[in-house]
Chains A and B, each alone.
With several copies, the nearest count.
Chain A
Amino acid sequence: MTLDILYFAWLRERIGLPRETVTTEAATVADLVAELSAREDRYALAFSDLSAVRVALDQDLADFDAPLAGVREVAFFPPMTGG
């Protein structure tokens, strides 16, 4: 499957890009994170503390054990600080 992956705030800065398209067979968000972290140090560093990372699937907040089947867009970002 092909996914658009978006990064925001310090995740974008650590990984060094705002978005990319990946082809993956990852079943869940956690699988995808493991796959990316294995790829390069900058990913491993960005994802080293998942308690500080939030994920959205097709623009809805989700958990790391959420399945990726049918998903088009995955976004990773720190806890929100608006308002």
Chain B
Amino acid sequence: MQIRVQEAPFDYGAESARFTDGCNGIGAVVTFCGIVRNDGGALQAMEIEHYPGMTERALTQIAEEAARRWTLADCLIIHRFGRMTPGEKIMMVATASAHRADAFAAADFLMDYLKSRAPFWKKEFSGDSAEWVAAKDADEAALERW
């Protein structure tokens, strides 16, 4: 299980390849990458605040819960904080399992829980305005799937 919370960009392709090769013939890898949306050019930048200490703790708990529910060879979560511009990669998760159903379900679960249970907050900058992104009811509702 690999958890990284960092301000610096990460190399999505290299991390995906490294994670997959590290699992040495495990059958199925699913990755998710979250990217700052372009939204037609209106958004200039996004800033992500987090709660150092609790962030790592929450992500570890979510990953451990995934490992309890599904048979996983490994999982990886990388999440950035700080200022990012459209097109930049915000975060990724990766799951490896002998069977694709486990890898898909675990990655989907990690994303749902990370969205609503890991202490990150997004602020969007467009023109003169700066606004905190509101949590979506749909994101909270998504947790009930599990």
Contacts and interface: CB of A to CB of B under 8 A. Distances in A.
Interface in B42-96: 48-51, 53-54, 57-58, 79, 90-91
B29 interface: no
A83 B135 contact: no
A59 B117 CA distance: 12
A61 B51 CA distance: 12
A61 B117 CA distance: 8
A61 B115 CA distance: 14
Contacts of A78: 121, 132, 135
A61 B119 CA distance: 10
Contacts of B4: none
A59 B53 contact: yes
A81 B100 CA distance: 14
B10 interface: no
A83 B115 contact: yes
Contacts of B12: none
A60 B54 CA distance: 7
Interface string B92-120: 00000000100000000001001111111
Interface of B: 34, 48-51, 53-54, 57-58, 79, 90-91, 100, 111, 114-123, 132-135, 140
Given A6-B51, A82-B114, 14 more contacts: A9-B121, A59-B51, A59-B57, A75-B51, A77-B119, A80-B116, A80-B117, A80-B121, A80-B135, A81-B115, A82-B91, A82-B115, A83-B111, A83-B118
